[in-house]
A and B are shown apart, each in its own frame.
Chain A
Amino acid sequence: MSRGVVFSLALLAASLSMLVMARPPSSQSAPHAVGSEACKDCHQDQWQAFQHNPHARAEMDQAVVADQVGCESCHGPGSAHVEAGGDRSDPGFASIRNFKTLSAKDASEVCASCHKAGEQFYWEHSSHARNDVSCVQCHSIHHAKNEGAGPMLTASDVNHLCITCHKDKRAALARSAHMPLREGSMTCVDCHNPHGAPAARMIRAATVNELCYKCHADKRGPFLWEHPPVRENCLNCHQPHGSNNDKVLAGKRPYLCQRCHVGTRHPSTLYDKPDLLANRLFNRSCTNCHSQIHGSNHPSGKYFHR
């Protein structure tokens, strides 16, 4: 018998013995489920709020949800906690799951035991999961602040929730040219799936352009005459979170256009103060004439005039 086999057997035996020793004394029974009614007396606010919660309805559909339903489906079996009778020094008191003390991964795993399809399909791979953001940082089962329409959020609306962490976006959304997020007609989750997505920045499409076409399908084409950087990435010219330039452009026209077009005739011209009375600088600048800048389907539209 080789030394390796002996070593392996010894390691196995040691592991088994440790497992046996680690078992709880037979006199201490493992906590078991006692039902949600047992929670009602001490946690009246939470219990009451839970009755208004979609999860309370799910409780009645045991065939399609987890085996344990009600409070214990998330907090775990509560018999020991109940037996502790509020005595924090009793080891049984802490036997239930307290989401305030769980690690982000452990907390999210509880939610993911049911929510693992549809929107949450890519949760484990999301930037939020990887950066220790847990479900309960954004959602509250018992104390949602947007009881009306939203998915039990910890803030009054989605946008306010997101900018809590994404502070640079808060300033961007305040810029003069913006999409209707601060007015509440759009939310961050219209474009991003905070639960994860198979694309960079957790956008709700495989590419940026595909995402933009959901609302701007007019720009989808294909066109007879394409403007190549438009076809490749809308973000070459636009800043979707807000900009100081008309049409959320990344730069003011004509300077934005002149970053790529310095060719002969007027595109290369320096437009400075004396040229303020030039229609190539004023109003919509280059797009005063090249209005079909996203692409043209006109046989005479190669230069996006028609």
Chain B
Amino acid sequence: MVDMSSFAEAGADLELVGIQKRFPGFTAIEHLDLKIPAGSFFALLGPSGCGKTTTLRLVAGLEDPSTGKILIGGRDVTALKPHKRPVNTVFQSYALFPHMSVLENVAFGLRRRRIGDPVAKAHEALRLVELDHVADRKPAQLSGGQQQRVALARAVVNRPALLLLDEPLGALDLKLRRQMQQELKQIQQEVGLTFLHVTHDQEEAMTMADTVAVMNKGRIEQMGAPEELYELPRTVFVANFLGQSNLFEVEVAGTTDQAVQTALANGARITVPRSRSERDSGQITVGVRPEKLRLHVQEPTADASINVIGPGRITDVSFIGVSTQYTVEVPGAGAVQVFAQNVEAGPAAHLGDQVWLSWLAEHTFGLADDRLETGALTADFSTQAIAAQAAFAGDGE
């Protein structure tokens, strides 16, 4: 550490260059290049076993990369031991020291760095998480939510250049989790630290982070602002993991400067804006989000800016409250999900109705890969395989 005895002035940027991490028998991270700008709230999102926690542990120094470099604030820390890195972690298990009081837990890092007046600073951090009144208790005497906040205070009190969060909200119930998400975001903005948050909860990642990186099978599939990822997923995995998508396998029929014209196997035409399609020839997969679709009981009039498929039959209707979710079986396109806002009273369509579906062509996205290559089924399988191998290769330590 450059200067271990003082607080970081501000968050530092984090750079991972050509990182690969192999354990005996499997590779947790295939290849990772990542740059997180100072002061941002960055989320690594992915299913369990995708390598996101390993990435976090590499940054914390709890694992060594097989190849590649880790830079924090421009300084190469790859060879630094964890206790010399300007990084703190909020662990998934909280990992509070059971033999110390809450106050001593929070003061632990300050004492190690010989920062002046650790007790006063620890009290201050506990006030930030509204737990100063339990400073003298042992962690075991606190509820899960309180322990979580102590873990947060214990990390934040050190004002690390980079704060790592390893699914810290996983053990909380939904209401506390929502509250905690807002508080975390607030703290991050107040203290201006760089946050790297690992989670498998897509909603959590989207609501909290400035930038989300979706990880799968040890690689980052796509990275960007939450809206960007949601509106324009580039791979089948992202389209399915982040929200839901209707995907269609189509054949490119022709291209213009503005659009890629495609056709389903049954001849129905689907137009994708050129800028929203990763590929423009041969067999490709295109998709649209379920809430962009509209139901029609009569065939809509043809319009170049609108994609229409149908007719299909409604095979399932579920009333969610704010919306109604329809499953429409469309010959040649398969089962299509439609989320309709409940603007009018009463259902817009009924089970068994014949309907057409339309959406604005500009909402269509064209993916870089195909359903069969990295679809949900394959992803699940590989997740299990990685988990099994991780258990087997536990001596990687």
Tell me, yes or no, whether A binds B.
no
Q: Which residues in A have some Cβ–Cβ distance to B below 8 Å? A: none
